[in-house]
Structure formats: structure tokens, C-alpha cells
Amino acid sequence: MSASAFHALYHQGFARVAACTVPVALADPATNAQRTLEAAQTCGQDGAVLCVFPELGLSGYAIDDLRQQEALLNCVEQAIANLVAASADLLPILVVGAPLRHDNALYNCAVVIHRGTVMGIVPKSYLPNYREFYEARHFTPGVAIQGQTLRLNGADIPFGTDLLFEAEDVPGFCLGLELCEDLWVPAPPGTLAALAGATILANPSASDITVGKAETRTLLCRAQSARCVAAYIYAAAGEGESTNDVAWDGQITIFENGEVLAQSERFPSGSQHVVADIDLTLLRQERLRMGTFAANARAMQTHAPAWRRIRCTLTPPMADIGLRRPLSRFPFVPNDPDRLAQDCFEAFTIQVSALKQRLRTSGVKRMVIGISGGLDSTQALLVAVRAADELGWPRSAVLGYTMPGFGTTEKTLASAQALMAGLGTGNEVLDIRPAASLMLREIKHPFAQGEPVHDITFENVQAGLRTDFLFRLANQHQGMVIGTGDLSELALGWCTYGVGDQMAHYNVNAGLPKTLIQHIIRWAIASGHFSPDVTPLLSTILATEISPELVPVGANGSQSTEDIIGPYALHDFTLFYVLRYGFTPSRIAFMAEQVWRDASVGNWPPGFLEQDCKAYNLPIIRHWLHIFLRRFFGTSQFKRSAMPNGPKVMAGGSLSPRGDWRAPSDGNATLWLAELDRNVPKS
């Protein structure tokens, strides 16, 4: 694949859309059409293929009985004709609001225009006629309109609430419409449109503003986008609307699957638009995984119209025009401090509550845990201590063992001992080197004959003995071995199978990605669950390089885990999108380059150290993605197929064979590696 194609957002399954609001000229359709055209031209030059404008934007919403004046309605039709003619060379589909006549009735309509044609007209289903609203005085509800055509400017236009608009050259682009009040009813018409395949729901709205209404409106839009697994484009009327008895805030927002992608300021002055790149692939993949989505669509077929699908060709730009959407370097770690604190609280509490339940039902008296002085075992120890506290157990019931081997450093040994002492748990040093030396000698390993051979056997003898000792200690003390290995290590197979750190009686960390654990420990420091004496110990551990410490200090080769298997930041990025959405390697590489190529751009999580703010270019991303794919799909599933119990923690998924992820242990990575090699440029 060429570099230009690789970097094209439309090639990668995104679509750029816009929500627009312009100052309205009351009862002046010609002026409103011109302002609409100017905004659409700007958005089109920016690469947007859809622009949504406010309800009744061509006439103005707050004009009361002027809506029924023939002079006005004639001018609206002429304004549409002018806008249609001017749209011939425009990229985006335009959704504009207009009052239109049909069969001796007046309808509040959304007119869909593209490349010199009116593709279709959708009437508002539900008319508010309560409190400040009097729409039923002028309009006829459109909820029953299906299968009809409306005569407009000499052409018969598809007219009804049964219209969907599909792009033949942008996979997954399917547009459904609902107008303002339609969103506020218990069963919005956009829901049926989404079940029929609409991935984008547009809402041309007027929506006057009162104190607190904006929050409710946003809640409804977010909920509709989440429930429908869709993008939701909301465009509200603002400046220029009459303030006889109400006011307008003109807020425009783009949502996707429950999240806000882009939002304008409220009460704007002048023309405003917001642009965002919606992820059509994500929406389709999410629906694919939700078997209940398709089941609900089948169940609702008797209530749904016989949909008419209006197709068009968008011809979007297939060049690098950037990517405009919130995209996190750490998809498991929120950038917002309040959200991060909430996630850390929930993750820690999920671990503690799950462990408490297992302890209560198992009949054991103690917990047995190996402490290395690293992140994972520290997190597991904090969880074990908190569980003991909440169960009313003494902290001495947490039997902590640090087990130095041939590569253990004085720093991590001291950290492990100090942490156990500070927390008041059991604190034992169990030197595994004599037992390891005996095993190496018995299997005739070269190291036992004095040769500096530090191969996988040398490493796994130590890793296996540590776990073996823990299980026998659990037998001896009526205890349960608490696992410490995390989600990221399980993804990469970075654990010793069987008699090793892959195994435990219960693994509290199995659902936690490596990139989140450091933040949970920081949260634990601030939470007050543990004494201030422990804080400096935890800070020291946070600053310690990630390493299994199995090779003697000074031996050839690095002991840094990330030097060997790659940065956990990149691996967790890949893991999230493989596990949660099943994205292709090339798409993940595209997204990773967007967020990792420049360390000075974008937000970093709270508490992230400046020296750790790194950048990775596409060749580096490609290299480590290759490693991930080979390990995840090709060599590591057999370890996950036999993993012990442990709670799912993150919405991003888990790797339990009894939960989120089930795969053959004898699979291979050929397909994913080939896709990477074929579609991601090497430079």
C-alpha cells in the first residue's frame, strides 16, 4: 500500500462530518440558503462528507404563523432550488431544515441534498405542543408518512420517515434522521433507523434553552448514540431566532457510541461549525460483537417501516487530511484527572471485592503472595491487604515472600521487604538460589558447570521454583496463592507456563493492563487506605524499571522487559483495539502513529513523568506491532487457555477463556502478519 493511501482517513474506515449553526434571518430563505451554502463550502474544503444544519433553518424556527404564509413557503422552495444548484460541485451531503407543503398539509422537514439533487425529505415524526411549543398549530405529524413522494420544484422526491441514505464508496456510511422532539420521546424513530443499519443519526434541531436543559439534551444525545451504537450529529438553532418568549443557545455537538467527539461553545456569535472524524469501522465492529443488537433488530421488524435506501457516491478525498477525533495514547487510561480517579477507584474495588468473595467461599485462612518489588506484585499486595482489612482479618494473614534469584538487585529486594514491613504483612525472604542451583545441576545445565549460559531454561528454573514454593507454602498454611501477572503480560505470553507465574489459585491482576497499574498505585497513595509511611516505598517502586530480574547483574544482554518485548504503552494500545474491536493491524498502526509520533501534541495522563513522555515513528510502531501479533496470535494462547480465575476489570476486555476471549491454542499469526506487511509502509 502507498503511504498516501495508508494515511487517508477514508481509506482507514473513518468519515469526516460536521454539525453547523448559522445566524438565521427570520422569514428570509434566500439569505439563510446563502449562509448555509457558505458554511457547507467551508466544511467541504475541510474534507467533510456530511453537514447537518438546524431545524427549519431556511425559514427560521421562531416565526409562528408566518410559517403558513404562501409567500414564505414559495421562497423556501426557491431557496432549496438555489441551494441544490449550488451544491453540484460540493463534497458533503447537506441536511437542511425547511417547512414544506404536501397533500394539503404543512410538514416540518429535513431536506437531504447532494451534488445537485434532493435525495430525500424526512418529516418530523412528533410535534411538541406543550408548554412553550405550538408546532401542531402549523404542522402535521410525519410519523405515519411512509412510501410517499413530495413534489418539489418539478421533481418527485422520496418523502417519509422510512428513508435511509447510503454511500456506495464509503463502507458503513448510512444516514438516518430524526428532528428535535423526535429524540425526546420514549421510542425515538432514530432507534429503528439504527437497527436497520444507520450508523449515523442526524438531528436538525431548534431546541430553545432554559436553565439545566443543555445537560438533559446532552444526556439524551449521548444515550441515543450509545444505545444505537451510532454517531449522532446534533445541530441546534441559535443566533437570529426570535426571543419573543424564549432564548436559544445554538449548541452543536457530534457524539459517537456514547462519547462526545466535538462540541461548540454555547450562545455563539456568527456562523459556527464543529468537525469530527467518526469511526464507521468501530461502530460496525461493536454491533457485530453485540449479538443482542441484531436480535433486537429482528424483534422490532414488525414495528419498522419498509425502508427505502437512497444511495449516492461521495467520492471523498483519499489523501492525508489528518485525523480529527479524540484519540488517547493510553486507551485503558483516561486523560481526565477526575475520570482517571474514578476508574482507579472502580478497578481497585473490583479487585478487592472479587478477592473477598473468593476468600469467603474457599475456606482458606491466609493469602500467600510473592513480592518482587515491582509494579504487579505491589498492586496485588495492596489488594490483598485491603481485602484482609475489609474481611476483618489481621494483615499478618497475608503471607508475603520475596524470593531472590540470580538476577535480583539489592534495590528491588529492599523495596519488597520494606513494603511488606510497612504494610504489616508477613515478611519472609526465601532464597531460591540453592534450589535453583540444585535443579540446574541435576538437569546438567551449562550454568551449573560454571558457564555463563542464561537461556530460557535458566530463567524458567527460577520462575518455576518461585511459584512452586508459593503453592507448597499455601498447602502448609491453609492459604491461597494470589497471582500477580497482568493483562498485558497474558497478551504477550510474558509468563512462565504451568509451574510459573502463569499459575495461581486466584489472579487479581489478570484484568489489569500494565499501563493502568501505575496509576492505580498512585491513586492508592492518595486514597488514604494505607499509612503515610508506605507512600515513599510505593513511589520508589513506581520509579523502578520493569524487569523480571532473572539474569545476573552485569551479564550480557538487557534485563529491561521493554527492551526485550517492546514498550507496554504501544502493546496496550494494540491490545485494546485487537481485543475490544478486532481492528486490522494496519488500522491500529495508522491510529498509533496519529497519537505517538509527536510527544508534544495531545494530553498525557495525570502524574505521568516528563521523561517518560516518548514518541514513536511508524517504523518503530510497525516493528513492535509485528512482535505483538506474533506473540498474541501465534505463541501465547495456550497459556491463556489454562489461566486461573480472576476478575474482568476493564471494559476494554479480558483474556479469560471463560469470558471475553476464546481462541485455539494451536492457532497462528500468519493472517495478521501478512496484513501488516501488505498494508503498512516500512518507512
In which residue are the cell numbers 455563539 written?
Answer: 268
The reply, when asked if residue 507 is annotated as ligand binding, is no
CB of 121 closer than 8 Å to CB of 104: no
Nearest-angstrom CA–CA distance, 316 and 39: 18
DSSP letter for 63, please. T
- 206 closest CA partner among 133, 113, 144, 268: 133
Buried b (16+ CB within 10 A) or exposed e, 339-357: ebbebbeebbebbbebbbe
Grid cell, residue 319, equals 489523501
- 476 phi and psi, to 5 degrees? -70, -35
The reply, when asked if residue 212 is annotated as ligand binding, is no
- 171 phi and psi, to 5 degrees? -55, 130
Catalytic residue among 55, 135, 181, 549: 55
* Residue 180 annotated in active site: yes
Nearest-angstrom CA–CA distance, 97 and 80: 10
**Cross-strand bridge partners of residue 427:** 400
CB of 627 closer than 8 Å to CB of 565: yes
Grid cell, residue 552, equals 545476573
240, containing H or E segment: none
The reply, when asked if residue 190 is annotated as ligand binding, is no
Catalytic residue among 75, 109, 174, 180: 180
* Residue 124 annotated in active site: yes
DSSP letter for 75, please. H
Grid cell, residue 84, equals 441544490
The reply, when asked if residue 562 is annotated as ligand binding, is no
- Structure-derived torsion over alpha carbons of residues 516, 519, 521, 525, reported in degrees to the nearest 10: -160
The reply, when asked if residue 616 is annotated as ligand binding, is no
Widest Cα–Cα separation across the chain = 102
Please report, in angstroms and rounded to a whole number, the separation of the first and last CA atoms in the chain: 12
The reply, when asked if residue 207 is annotated as ligand binding, is yes
The reply, when asked if residue 10 is annotated as ligand binding, is no
Nearest-angstrom CA–CA distance, 251 and 347: 35
163-167, strands of its sheet edge to edge: 259-263, 252-256, 231-236, 200-205, 174-177, 163-167, 308-312
- CA 574, 579, 581, 585 dihedral sign is positive
The reply, when asked if residue 130 is annotated as ligand binding, is yes
The reply, when asked if residue 484 is annotated as ligand binding, is yes
DSSP letter for 264, please. P
The reply, when asked if residue 665 is annotated as ligand binding, is no
Nearest-angstrom CA–CA distance, 647 and 633: 23
The reply, when asked if residue 234 is annotated as ligand binding, is no
* Residue 55 annotated in active site: yes
The reply, when asked if residue 672 is annotated as ligand binding, is no
In terms of residues, how long is the chain? 683
The reply, when asked if residue 540 is annotated as ligand binding, is no
The reply, when asked if residue 460 is annotated as ligand binding, is yes
The reply, when asked if residue 494 is annotated as ligand binding, is yes
In SS3 terms, 539-575 reads as HHHHCCCCCCCCCCCCCCCCCCHHHHHCCHHHHHHHH
Q: Residue 114 corresponds to which amino acid?
A: H
The reply, when asked if residue 75 is annotated as ligand binding, is no
Catalytic residue among 43, 51, 124, 135: 124
The reply, when asked if residue 213 is annotated as ligand binding, is yes
CB of 329 closer than 8 Å to CB of 616: no
- 238 phi and psi, to 5 degrees? -145, -115
Residues that constitute the known binding site for L-glutamine = 130, 207, 213
Residues that constitute the known binding site for ATP = 370-377, 484
Residues that constitute the known binding site = 130, 207, 213, 370-377, 460, 484, 489, 494-497, 639
Residues with catalytic function: 55, 124, 180
Residues that constitute the known binding site for deamido-NAD(+) = 460, 489, 494-497, 639
